[in-house]
Amino acid sequence: MATEIEHKYIVSDESYLQGYSRKTYFRQGYLTTQPTCVVRVRIADNTAYLTIKGKNNGASRPEYEFEIDVDKAQAMLDNLCTTPIIEKTRYLYPYKGHTWEIDRFAGDNEGLVIAEIELNDENESYEQPPFIGKNVTGIARYYNSCLSEHPYSQWSDVEKEVK
């Protein structure tokens, strides 16, 4: 079983645009978003994946990912997934021994920018780049699966305030 360990942060400025190593455009949707299991279809540029994620336990959760045919993924996005479909550009930003993933959302989630770091161990130490803001790890409304059901454009001003 694979385990995903990640921390999520609000991005406080656009300085990541001056040091990223690669960017990828994503379209993704959700076939199910149950508390115990999330099933996602994703097209990343010209490659597609089906991903199954289990229930969170802190910053960790089981994850399984399989490459699938792009045309089948597109059909699932068009016909089976919850809308709105998540659209985002991911910037990879190397920083002091780790690679940060900065997701700049578009469409119904325009205006939201989140940075994530994936770790090998819950206790692994890391340094934060200067554009990292408030830690939102574990706050459900920042999960992509939640953004597909309650997009950022529908958040109240209170919800947009990070607490």
Q: What is the pLDDT of residue 134?
A: 96
Can you give the pLDDT of all 163 residues of the chain as single tens digits? 588 889 999 999 999 999 999 999 999 999 999 989 999 999 999 999 999 999 877 778 899 999 999 999 999 999 999 999 999 999 999 999 999 999 999 999 999 999 999 999 888 999 999 999 999 998 989 999 999 999 999 999 999 887 5
Under a CB-based contact definition with an 8 Å cutoff, are residues 29 and 79 in contact? no
Instruction: Tell me which amino acid residue 22 is.
Output: R
Q: What is the pLDDT of residue 122?
A: 85
* Backbone angles phi and psi of 140, in degrees to 5: -55, -35
Burial label for 18, CB within 10 Å (0-12, 13-18, 19+), is exposed
Instruction: Kindly state the tokens that stand for 8.
Output: 């999520």
pTM value > 0.85: yes
Under a CB-based contact definition with an 8 Å cutoff, are residues 102 and 90 in contact? yes
In sequence order, which residues have a C-beta less than 8 Å from that of residue 162 and are 6 or more positions away? 10, 133, 134, 136
Is 91 designated active site?
A: no
Under a CB-based contact definition with an 8 Å cutoff, are residues 129 and 9 in contact? no
Catalytic residue among 16, 30, 95, 142: 30
Q: What is the pLDDT of residue 21?
A: 97
